[in-house]
Structure 1
Amino acid sequence: MAEFGDVKNLAYGGTSTVASHHVYNEDVRFVDDHERKDLARGLKQRHVQMIAIAGAIGTGLFLGLGGSIATGGPLGALLGYLFVGAIVCAIQFALGEVTALFPVTGSFVRHSEILVDPAMAFAIGWNVVYGNFLSVPSEISAGVVLIQYWNDTINPAVWVTILIVLSILVAIIFIGVYGEVEFFFAILKILLVVGIVIMGLVIDLGGVPGKPRLGFHFWKTPGPFVEYIAQGSWGRFLGFWAVMSNAVYSFAGVESLAMAAAETRNPRHNIPKACKRVFARVTIFYILAILVVGMLVSSDDERLSNESGTAAQSPFVIAASDAGIKAIPSIVNAVVLTSAWSASNQAILAGTRTLYGLALKGHAPKFFLRTTRYGIPYMCVAVQMAFSFLAYMCVSNDALTVFFWLVDLTAAGVLISWITVALNHIRLIQALKKQGYPLHALPWHNSWTPYGSWFALVSCIIILLTGGFAVFTSGNWEPSSFVSSYLDIPLVLVVFAGYKLIRRTKYVSLSDIPIAQALDEAQNDPENVPILKEVWWKRWNFLW
């Protein structure tokens, strides 16, 4: 045991003159020895940023915007996505600040053990693992539906097998390969978003021969808002509020960029930098896309209610078809297919690294710590890929119904994860103040983040509790909607309470949070070096 004195000349923006007399164990490190020795730092800054972008830009953007327009109207949908975009901004900055201090595998799951309660880490961690384990067969099933848009004569089991094999290859090879695959997919998505936004503006402004200029015609008729469930202003507000649940799940994935922090080069600088940049780019893409969609397609267009799961339900495809552009459906379907595969890869990364992080802290069997010579936790990958065989249930309609009920169990997991990120950050800020450290002592900090985390925490709790409000209205009861909206909440609470009772864990006191040790580790981390300033031409690179 050793005494830690003044934290001075922290090298990240200030000097602390506050003496800390907290005792800590020099043999215990936040970044575990297994992480240091067994995992490979194969993810570069561009990989980390593109992993987040690839995860957030997917079916929610290409296929789901039409449903948001139909529910809330063009202005209601735009406001809903702007509001959730602000939440995502706060979550990203909170995640970046905590990760810069604790760059560990498992990200916010491990953070909650240090900052809140080991029981919370156990409950949230296994919820994340379960959700990601089921996301892989879910995305593979979605990929099969997308492939059948072109060819529905081949047995779906063939496509399931091919997609599983591809997923296994990406998961088990060096982490840098995964980074390059996601980098490529993200480039495709960004190019498609830019392309369809430009196409939409050309169509809207009358650039297609024989087609009139639309302008904001659909904002006037049928109107900027849609009445949802109720009539009048209350109905228009409910339409706007219903959009936010769609928006949350569209942005899902941005919180996973820090899951592989121990496999990222210079994580104390690269992950915060990625958090800062990614939210802005993703939000801009969504805002531009939904603004253009609102100008191209009427909110009362019956085709927006198409639930085929293929490009046929995309509002961009609907607009292109109306304009006589025939190539767009296949292009959109192809990129959405890469989105499904990308989402599957990201679920494998988040699920396996969370499971590895749980094993490090004794919340999962130790054999999950075994890694290949290239730093891949192969036992975690093996278990997760075993779950991918559930995708064969898509061959049978009855089995597929049961499978999606299993998926629905963790549909609220995104909001629970965001709540955890915000709570971790709030506890960190409170611990700094309690122990007398200035906020600028953190490796990375922004002055408004303490307020942003409270905003995100309260907003996420409200959306979580009200997200399924429609099922409680007259004539709208659906068991599957109720399950997907609420069942995950008692599941997490029961696991949390059960672990706390069995292990008799205690909430971490603000005075006992090891701030001094964390700052000391950050200061003496050989990789914690400022990123060199970019040459002038790289500053024009809007991608990474």
Structure 2
Amino acid sequence: MADFDKHPVYGGDAVAVEPQHVYNSDVHFVDEHERKDLARGLKQRHVQMIAIAGAIGTGLFLGLGGSIATGGPLGALLGYGFVGIIVCAIQFALGEVSALFPVTGSFVRHAEILIDPAVGFAVGWNLVYGNWMSVPSEISAGVVLIQYWNTSVNPAVWVTILIVVSVLVAIIFVGVYGEVEFFFAILKILLVIGVVIMGLVIDLGGVPGQQRLGFHYWKNPGPFVEYIGTGAWGQFLGFWAVMSNAVYSFAGVESLAMAAAETQNPRRNIPKACKRVFLRVTLFYVVAILIVGMLVSSADPRLDNDSGTAAQSPFVIAASDAGIKAIPSIVNAVVLTSAWSSSNQAILAGTRTLYGLAVKGHAPKFLLWTTPYGIPFMCVAVQMAFSFLAYMCVSNDALNVFWWLVDLTAAGTLVSWITVAWNHIRLIQALKKQGIPATKLPWHNSWTFYGSWFALVSCIIILFTGGFAVFTAGNWSPSDFVSSYLDIPLVLVAFGGYKLIRRTKWVNLSDIPLAQALEEAQSDPENVPVVKERWWERWNFLW
């Protein structure tokens, strides 16, 4: 048996491995293209705030109203809380695997190493497709928000402006992109804190002329809403119908590891961000939906407003009812930056996944072309070409287009989360098979194996039941069916086709090169302990 030296960063005894599994210096998990062509311009605060910026978007500011109307205040709260627990498990699983394999493309590349190259191919292209849908989705949402002020200008004008600005941000140095997203994330967080405080003031009767509401709307019309069915069954269906919107709202938290090769000290900073992001995002959503459920009745017809403006936002409704005239426009303005920021996050995730596919030969090699500043500009060009789908809102109501793309994006997000959980389960199984303690990983938590199983099963159930309403009497809709379930056959066809053509095999647990990965992690010159926080930094609850 061969012994590694005691590692100063990880600590503990070294892992003993058989000679045939010793580090192969000719093969690296982080590809040469990533080492040479990409710039490590993202700091830990950038990575964490990019994930927060991606998750706090139109799903929070526009989608909560629909969730309250469908599930009621308690049904929506339970739905978002349940998905928040799933996100917790996903984030910890992602952090553990990414600390060992900090590669561009994150869980897509992890699937090739841990499961089957065909899975990596199918999920990678599914993720690229999902981000292709996310960008026009957020742009459509931006048009919805702009139309709150002005409906006389053709929506195509706003779509064009948003696309052009997005392209400019996407092709600049990644560090500048990080600072832009950092700023907008701070803006969004301040808005959430602001509307929560505003909501508490309104609810407790702090606005002159407004009576105290308390939990009035939880009593009348009630904590749950009957959806499709009646009684307890209808209330459960209302709760379950919230799931797709909740998943869409949380979409983006898994993207923080996508640009691992462009992140400083990724083996330390990515797990640190994973650990903190889920708690902050879940807290924001749970508190926000609790406040909204206290301020707006689930029976309020404005929550189902189909005018195509941001008047549907429950925050705008609450402020308007309280007679606070300035708040609706302020909220609308910040939410507009929120939509654009979420679009930028989708561009980052989509382009880096596409770059990772090109690195592994799953996409054309011209996609590896980068600018002198390390930006994969050809990936950006392809990504932005699909943003033109946002022009659908010119001939269709912008809000309708937004909701179509919400369902498409939610299904793709669930496939990504399933892959993250599956990767982690395979990693732990491989460690056990090869006799390597899980504590030897750069970052590990004892409960995460069980959390990954919970997340895996939950995501599969939500994926297959997300569009259940179309199968009930009188609710059949071809467009809703396609948007809810199109993703499933796309992934299966991509997986089956690639496996048939390339004749790939499932990776044997004994063949997963864990010893080499641990050796590479220990030999990484950038893998140094994070500088100890100074006393005032410990009170920083954001990053």
Q: TM-score range by the shorter chain?
A: over 0.9
Rounded Cα–Cα distance in structure 2 between residues aligned with 1:71 and 1:394: 24
- Cross-structure match for 2:124: 125
**Structure 1 residues 458 and 222 mapped into 2: Cα distance closer, same or farther (>3 Å)?**
same
- Cross-structure match for 2:18: 20
Matches within 5 A, 1:31-430: 31-397=30-396, 411-430=410-429
Alpha-carbon displacement from aligned partner over 1:487-514 (angstroms, at most 9, x marks no partner) = 2101100110010000000000000001
Q: Which segment drifts farther, 401-410 or 378-387? A: 401-410
What one-letter code is carried by the residue in structure 1 that aligns with 2:94? Answer: L
Q: CA deviation at 1:154?
A: 2.7
Q: Is contact 1:310–1:333 with CA below 8 Å preserved after alignment?
A: no
- Cross-structure match for 1:530: 529
Q: Is contact 1:13–1:440 with CA below 8 Å preserved after alignment?
A: no
Rounded Cα–Cα distance in structure 2 between residues aligned with 1:6 and 1:80: 49
Q: CA deviation at 1:399?
A: 11
Rounded Cα–Cα distance in structure 1 between residues aligned with 2:307 and 2:93: 37
Q: CA deviation at 1:111?
A: 0.5
Q: CA deviation at 1:398?
A: 9.6
Name the TM-score, length of structure 1 as normaliser.
Answer: 0.96
Rounded Cα–Cα distance in structure 2 between residues aligned with 1:148 and 1:239: 30
Q: Is contact 2:248–2:409 with CA below 8 Å preserved after alignment?
A: no
What one-letter code is carried by the residue in structure 2 that aligns with 1:92? Answer: Q
**Structure 1 residues 209 and 400 mapped into 2: Cα distance closer, same or farther (>3 Å)?**
closer
Structure 1 gap segments, 5+ residues each? none
1:9 and 2:6 equivalent? yes
Alpha-carbon displacement from aligned partner over 1:217-258 (angstroms, at most 9, x marks no partner) = 111111111111111111111111111222111101101111
Quick one: percent identity of the two aligned structures? 84
- Cross-structure match for 1:478: 477
What one-letter code is carried by the residue in structure 1 that aligns with 2:359? Answer: L
Rounded Cα–Cα distance in structure 1 between residues aligned with 2:121 and 2:292: 42
Any idea what SS the aligned residue of 2:325 has? coil
Q: Is contact 1:419–1:456 with CA below 8 Å preserved after alignment?
A: yes
Alpha-carbon displacement from aligned partner over 1:371-410 (angstroms, at most 9, x marks no partner) = 1110001111122222223333433339998998688655
Rounded Cα–Cα distance in structure 1 between residues aligned with 2:59 and 2:47: 21
1:517 and 2:516 equivalent? yes
Alpha-carbon displacement from aligned partner over 1:193-229 (angstroms, at most 9, x marks no partner) = 0000001101111111111111111111111111111
**Structure 1 residues 174 and 396 mapped into 2: Cα distance closer, same or farther (>3 Å)?**
same
Rounded Cα–Cα distance in structure 2 between residues aligned with 1:70 and 1:152: 26
Structure 2 gap segments, 5+ residues each? none
Q: CA deviation at 1:295?
A: 0.9
**Structure 1 residues 389 and 230 mapped into 2: Cα distance closer, same or farther (>3 Å)?**
closer
Alpha-carbon displacement from aligned partner over 1:284-319 (angstroms, at most 9, x marks no partner) = 101111111111111111111114453201111111
The number of equivalent residue pairs is 541
Q: CA deviation at 1:158?
A: 2.5
Q: Which segment drifts farther, 506-515 or 9-18? A: 9-18
What one-letter code is carried by the residue in structure 1 that aligns with 2:159? Answer: V
Q: CA deviation at 1:191?
A: 0.6
What one-letter code is carried by the residue in structure 1 that aligns with 2:263? Answer: T
What one-letter code is carried by the residue in structure 1 that aligns with 2:345? Answer: Q
Q: Which segment drifts farther, 390-399 or 193-202? A: 390-399
Rounded Cα–Cα distance in structure 2 between residues aligned with 1:437 and 1:109: 24
Rounded Cα–Cα distance in structure 1 between residues aligned with 2:450 and 2:243: 21
Rounded Cα–Cα distance in structure 2 between residues aligned with 1:115 and 1:428: 7
What one-letter code is carried by the residue in structure 2 that aligns with 1:19? Answer: V
**What CA RMSD, in Å, does the superposition of the two structures yield over aligned residues?**
1.9
**Structure 1 residues 314 and 428 mapped into 2: Cα distance closer, same or farther (>3 Å)?**
same
